[in-house]
Amino acid sequence: MAFPLTAHWAGRSIYDIDPAALARRGIRLLLADLDNTLVPYGVPEPTEQVREWTAALERHGVTLFVLSNNRHPERPGRFSKALGVPFIGHAGKPKTGSFYKAMEQMGRTAEETAIVGDQIFTDILGGRNAGVFTLLVEPIRLAGNPGRYLRYAVEWPFRALTKRRTKPL
């Protein structure tokens, strides 16, 4: 049963996502949330670990594409350019427009596309509505913002359901 508030797969972090397994599923375009998915809020540049994981995806024919709701005019661009990947900032997830725009830009269908993110009500809901494969990870760091704890609490049942149903990629 497809339920729009559960993801197809759940893991602890992006590093639980095996690039070879994604490629075997026919995924060629991996849309990725930025804040608290690739790096914590406020970390301006990709870490060495993110760079290595992106390179591993590339070796398996999977292109990373940053799809960020961050409204800062420079944050998503600076990070993505440093990582050498395409991006859309102020993406408006869960609205599907930015998902379709990214797929069109990269010449990929929904069947060839996945989204990874740490939030149910933006990343996963948007991905479900756009018809792509959805991967849920835990937020890297909740500290410093009470709103994030509240949101996490509201998401909790859908996270729990996703985790209970998840199978290896």
Where do we find the tokens 């690739």? 38
The piece of 13-21, 36-44, 53-61, 105-113 that touches Mg ion (CB under 5 A) is 36-44
Q: Which is nearer to Mg ion, 77 or 112 (CB)?
A: 77
The interface mask with Mg ion, positions 84-123, x = CB under 5 A, is: ----------------------------------x-----
Q: Indicate the angle between helix axes 75-83 and 48-59, nearest 10 degrees.
A: 60
33, 91, 102, 159: residue in contact with Mg ion (rule CB under 5 A): 33
Position 71, amino acid: R
- Check residue 35 for interaction with Mg ion (CB under 5 A): yes
Give the shortest CB-34-to-Mg ion separation in angstroms: 7
- Check residue 36 for interaction with Mg ion (CB under 5 A): yes
Got the DSSP string for 67-136? E-----SSHHHHHHHHHT--EESS--TTSSHHHHHHHHHHT--GGGEEEEES-IIIIIHHHHHHT-EEEE
Q: Which is nearer to Mg ion, 35 or 155 (CB)?
A: 35
- Check residue 155 for interaction with Mg ion (CB under 5 A): no
Residue 17 parent element (H or E): none
Binding site for Mg ion (CB under 5 A): 33, 35-37, 118
